[in-house]
Each structure stands twice: as structure tokens, then as C-alpha cells.
Structure 1
């Protein structure tokens, strides 16, 4: 989330720039150039600006703040050159600044910084009062988020804390929601070397596992820079019935598995209570490797693998291992453990319960004894949970793909199930179904075509109909596979502003089968028509 706040004096400069944010992915050794355009909207005064670079620091709310160059471990400033470093913009005029970024060979990870534009001292306003004079400094910035692609990118993060509080504890929220709303806050720490983009959800359940509600969890762009901690929040009115509840935060961030944390709380007649109201207890911070595990099953034979659990925190933790069926919802998120069925009895962990000191790693043996009469592959979620003294917990795990046989058939189909205008755009929903015998990881592309019908020109000349491609949108490859028999929803939002007429949506899903899955839907602006 980027928030720019300027307390401008009545006689201060009126200045705008474009772009405010630059996001690029480049290779080490490559040079990037970017032009920043500035506009002096003041019709009567010239603006003189000093152009420089700065580091950026992200606060708990996700707001960027300017810092001196070289103060951030992932600084971009040492690779930036700006030209010119000082410029004068006449009244109503424009100017350009060329930014050159040269990333040296051997670099990797994310690099972040800003190009700043500051009114030179002689242009600054001084306002006098009874206590003296106040010097106003006018400054605006263009922010750069650069990812140096390569195999050394590490997207790592963990939930530092998960809390439930009344809105009265947040002065910034009280004017909008009052004092009695409920605020859920998940503090996410980015321990990787590149920024992450978070998308979270919050699930409220009763002690017996019944779902009460699901809410989005986040704020702004959801971007968290390396080494930053950002609080993702959701605020709901206090319309929850009194009783005991569990809040489960699920945060996607581009890693192999989402971050998952839970906490318990009680809604009373007049207040919200948690088991650690006086002190927020940090959650456990541990990881499990390898990322995923695929094993070719041999019915009747004993098989095993080794997993490693590492405690990255500062306190000793108690860990419990579980084997659950691997199930994803239609959005690709893991289904809560209490909503899954029973796991196969022949997949076991040893040990299942253990303690882990700070900085230590424990090797856990995973054993499989598939029966001789096994007829199909199995998919399991090898889950590890650690609970703090206040009842809050975090979990991490490994997806086990137990494959029976070779050359399993991959078959899939896709259908565009809805398309319509919403929130200033064209919302498109499609569903892919895996009808084969193997788990697949799909990549998705959506094309919007305009259908120009046949026309008759002057003199009776016939102009044949033709198709014009207006937009092509690709979704990043999903991290979680689509299991046999499962469905996955893919949603798109396309910009509108389309002229009246006929259009066609085409979706293509590549999943490793003999041919891609293709779906089509014809639409007319102002109404929809079913595809042939």
C-alpha cells in the first residue's frame, strides 16, 4: 500500500509525476532505463527541483517511507543514475528525468529504492508564527521495485502474530467503525530476499468446527518488502453472537504453501477476550523440507522418506505431526484439516510428537506400507503444528503425491461459466476440471476478441467479417496441483470501455495433457449469449 501525504502551504508548488511506481523483473548484468515525466500545474511560477535517490522502508501499515541511500540491505540506490540532477520547470510546463539502473552480474533477489524530487531551498516556503518560523520542504518520489531473476530468489515468510481486538484500540479506525467493531490482525514477516504479494482470508469457526463466516484479510497492494513486517487486517462489525470462536488466517504469498495461523477468542456481551489479552505472544517460526514429495508407490513394499523440521525462532517449540488427506478448495487453497476425511492408515510419521530447541533441525521419518491390493494413487498432507501457551498455533507441511503406476493419463476440460460487468471491469469466471488419473499443475491464458460482422460497403462491395484480439491475460502458474476429479476456479478482471458489439472470450489451460483444454463464450455488451 502506497500512501502519499503532503501538507502543502497555500502558496506551495503544484507538481505531479508519472509513474509513481515502477515494477520490473530483469536479469543480472542487464541495464534498465525509465523516463519519469513531471508536470508543473502552476501557471505563474517556475519550479526548480533537486533530483536524488533514496532508500525506502515499509512500516507496519505497508506504507513506504524515504530513508538515506545505503541504509537498507536490499537497496537499489547504488545501481541508479539520474539525469539531470537538477531541473527547472517553467509555469505550466513539463520535464523528463532519465533513470538508468545497471544491475551488476552476480546480483540476485529484490532491490528497492526511490527517485526523489525536492524543491530547492530558495523555493521553500517559510511560515512565521509566535514561536518562530517553520520551514516547509516539498518532496515527491517515484518508487522502484526491481526483481533480479534467477535461481537464488527466496520467497520466505511467516506469521509473527495473530490477534483479535476491539476497534477502540485503534485510534485511526475509530472515526470510521466506532469502538465496538472487531479487528483481526496478522503480522507477516518477510524473511526472504524478494518482496512478496500477500492475499489472505480469515475463517471464523465455532469450537465444534462449524463455519461462521469468511472475510478477506489484507490491505492496500499486499506487498511486503524483504525484512519488513506488515500487519494484514480485516475489520468487521460486532454482529457476532456471544460465545467461543477460532480465527484461522490463511495467507497466500507466492510460496509453496500458504501461511496458516489460528487463535482462539471469546465474544462477550460487552467485550472481546483472548487468552493473552495483556501480552501478545509471538507465534512459532519453523519450516519443513523438502517442498513437495512425490513417491512412486510399490504395492506390498515398505517405503520411506526423511523430512526435516527446523526451528527458526528464539524459543523452544513443541511440534505435532499429522497425516491428512490432501484436499484443495475450488480456489486452490488448502481445506481446513477438520473438514477433511480420514487419512490412509499406512502412511505414518516417526516421531509424531517432539520438541525442538531454537536453531535446531529434527529429522522425521515418513513410512509408507501400501497394501498389495492398492488400485489408485494417494495424495496426503504431511502437516506439522506448533501451539503457543495462549492456544494460538501455526502450521507448515509437505504435500505427498503417492503415484501408482507410470504414464498416468492427464485429461482436463475448462468452461467459462460467467462473464459480466462488475466493479468497473469485465469479470470472467472459468472452471477447470481434472478428469484424468494424475495430479496436474495448470497454466491459464484468457483472450478477448471483438467480432466485426460482415458489412456491405458503397457500391454493393462486401467486406468480410473479421476478428480483432483486444486483450490477452495470463495467470501465474498455480503452486497447488489440481487433483484427479477436482475442480479449480480461475477468475479474471478485464478493463471495460468496450464499444457496443459482439465479443468472444477464449480460455486456454495447459496442464500437461496431449492437448490443452479450450473453452469459448460469446458475449454482447449489455447482455450475454451462450457459446456455440
Structure 2
């Protein structure tokens, strides 16, 4: 949980984000996602609350924006604003951008977004809050400051212009030999390309059906609801969570990406009988 919060490697919907480091120093931001619906030429505002919890010292915080990229393997990368075609960072203002929070107090940061004319679909960024915690004393002597940052995803949608469209560009089953003898694992690979102009969070399932047309397994795809930005793809890799007997199988996937139609795919594969 701490890894997801501190490095924002997983952007999940929760009621708040909370990080804690040495000596009871804790920082909280709420909400972890800000969504605004803004017409071209108009502006809207929202707030993120930053709290200094569990410390007897003031906390200095710097707020800033970066672009977010969801990589094909499901990890995230953060870049300077304006680096991506789906960035809204240059349209947003943060006030205050630097501030100090007394112990056990909070500060509200106002986010104002003005959308230029001619914009359609969705635009995205991440609002980071970076702070240096109270001085920590390493075991070998000396002092060190511990820094951390937390982020809240900013989504800006131009109403009435959203296009939800996606396609399945790869679907297959492969054998991964495990280190332990007799523990081979079959993995399902499912790659989805976002053809639309808004972020999607596809979800679905894969059914494994044997030659007698009996369903022997069903696996969730993208259970943590990872996002795919416009004109990008992501590969979802999941294990078949049961041992398969030797024989022929069919894998069927159905994905709901938020559009009017579901996307589906099918592939066949074989499992060798042990000892062959």
C-alpha cells in the first residue's frame, strides 16, 4: 500500500491517500482523483486537502503538475507538463503552490482549469505534493532529510465530445516454465488499444473451455482498473489460476471498456499430458 501511495505506481480510487515515514511523520491528501467537466473557453475549480498528521513539527509542501503516462506494461511515468498530447497541465493553476502546514492542521489547495477553444475529449495530469519530513538520524550517525511526494490525478473532460472506442490487438495463451518441476504456468496475454479520445479503464474476464465445451477456469482482466490513455495501448498479463489436464482448450475474452459495445476475442491452445 505504501509503495502505491508514495510513488503513485498504482493510481487507485480510495477515500484518501496517506503516507507515513519515520518518527510518525504523516501526510494525507484527499481526494486522490479530481475530475472536472469543462466546456471550451470556460473554467472550473476544485480543491485538494493536504494534512500534516502525527508530527509536532510544521511541514513545508510544494505543489506542482506533471504529465502522466500509462506504459504498455501497466507501470506509470511522469513527465514535464506539455510533454504529451493529452496533457491539461498547462491549463491548470494551483493556489497556493507553496505553503507550510502546522502540526495536525491542513491546507486546501485550489485547482483552477481553463480549457481553450477547440478542445475535444479528455486531458490529464497529476498534481504532486512534495514535502521533506522531519530530520531523521541514521544508525551510523549524522542526519538525513526524508522526502516524499504524493499525487492526485487530474482529469478534464469536455462534455459532449467524448469518444469511447477500443480494440483488441493481441490475445494469446503461452506456457511459462516454472522453477519448480511440475509447476508450469499458463499465462493469458491481452493487449487493448484505446482508439478514443478519453482515458478508459477496461475490465473483463477470460474463460478457459476444454474440448468437451466445459468451462474449467475464469480469470479477471484488469481487476485493479488500470487506465489506458487515448491512442495508447496496455498489455494485461494474467495467470490461469488452476492446473490444466492435457488436451485442447479455447480461451475466450470479453472486455467492457465503457463504450456502447463490448470487445471480444478467442484463441486455441493445447496442454501436453505430463510425461510426454
- Per the normalisation by structure 1, the TM-score is 0.44
2:16 matched to which residue of 1?
none
- CA RMSD of the aligned region, Å? 3.4
TM-score normalised to the size of structure 2? 0.80
Q: Give 2:165's match in structure 1, choosing from 156, 178, 181.
A: 156
User: Aligned equivalents of 1:96 and 1:193: distance in 2?
Assistant: 31
Q: How does 1:117-132 map to 2 (within 5 A)?
A: 117-119=129-131
1:137 corresponds to which of 135, 147, 168: 147
Residue correspondences, number: 261
Q: Deviations over 1:295-325 (max 9, x none)?
A: xxxxxxxxxxxxxxxxxxxxxxxxxxxxxxx
Pick the aligned partner of 2:233 from 229, 233, 236. Answer: 229
In structure 1, the partner of 2:101 is 89
| Other-structure match for 2:89 | 77
> Is residue 147 from structure 1 mapped to residue 151 from structure 2 by the alignment?
no
CA distance in 1, matches of 2:145, 2:238: 39
1:240 to 216, 219, 244: 244
Q: Please name the residue that 1:116 is paired with.
A: 128
**Distance in 1 between residues matched to 2:71 and 2:209, nearest whole Å:** 31
Tell me what 2:71 maps to: 59
Q: Residue 44 of structure 1 corresponds to which residue in structure 2?
A: 56
Name the residue aligned to 1:28: 40
Q: Secondary structure at 2:269's aligned position in 1?
A: strand
Q: What does the per-residue CA deviation read over 1:24-65, in whole Å, with 9 as the maximum and x for residues that have no partner? A: 333222312111111111331111011111111113454444
Q: Output one character per residue of 1:269-318: Cα deviation in whole Å (capped at 9) or x when no partner.
A: 459xxxxxxxxxxxxxxxxxxxxxxxxxxxxxxxxxxxxxxxxxxxxxxx
**Contact 2:200–2:257 under 8 Å retained in 1:** yes
- Following superposition of structure 1 onto structure 2, how do residues 123-522 of structure 1 map, counting pairs within 5 Å? 136-151=146-161, 153-166=162-175, 180-207=184-211, 209-270=213-274
- Contact kept in structure 1, 2:221 and 2:238, CA below 8 Å: yes
2:112 corresponds in structure 1 to: 100
Compare CA radii of gyration and give the structure with the larger one.
Answer: 1
Offset, 1:258: 2.1
- Cα distance between partner residues in 2 of 1:62 and 1:74: 18
Structure 2 residue runs without a partner (length 5+) = 8-18
Q: Which residue of 2 aligns with 1:308?
A: none
Say whether the 8 Å CA contact 2:129–2:150 is kept in structure 1.
Answer: yes
Q: Counterpart in 2 of 1:3?
A: 4
Hey, what's the Cα distance between the residues in 2 that align with 1:41 and 1:116? 18
SS in 2 for 1:36: strand
Note if contact 1:8-1:138 (Cα within 8 Å) is conserved in structure 2: no
Q: Distance in 2 between matches of 1:3 and 1:61?
A: 16
How far is the alpha carbon of 1:141 from its aligned partner?
1.1
Structure with the greater relative contact order (CA < 8 A, sep ≥ 6): 1 or 2? 2
Return 48-57 or 5-14, whichever deviates more.
Answer: 5-14
CA change 1:179–1:226 in 2 (3 A) is farther
Q: 1:84-128, CA deviations, whole angstroms, 9 ceiling, x for partnerless residues? A: 1100011111111111111122211110001111125x9686969
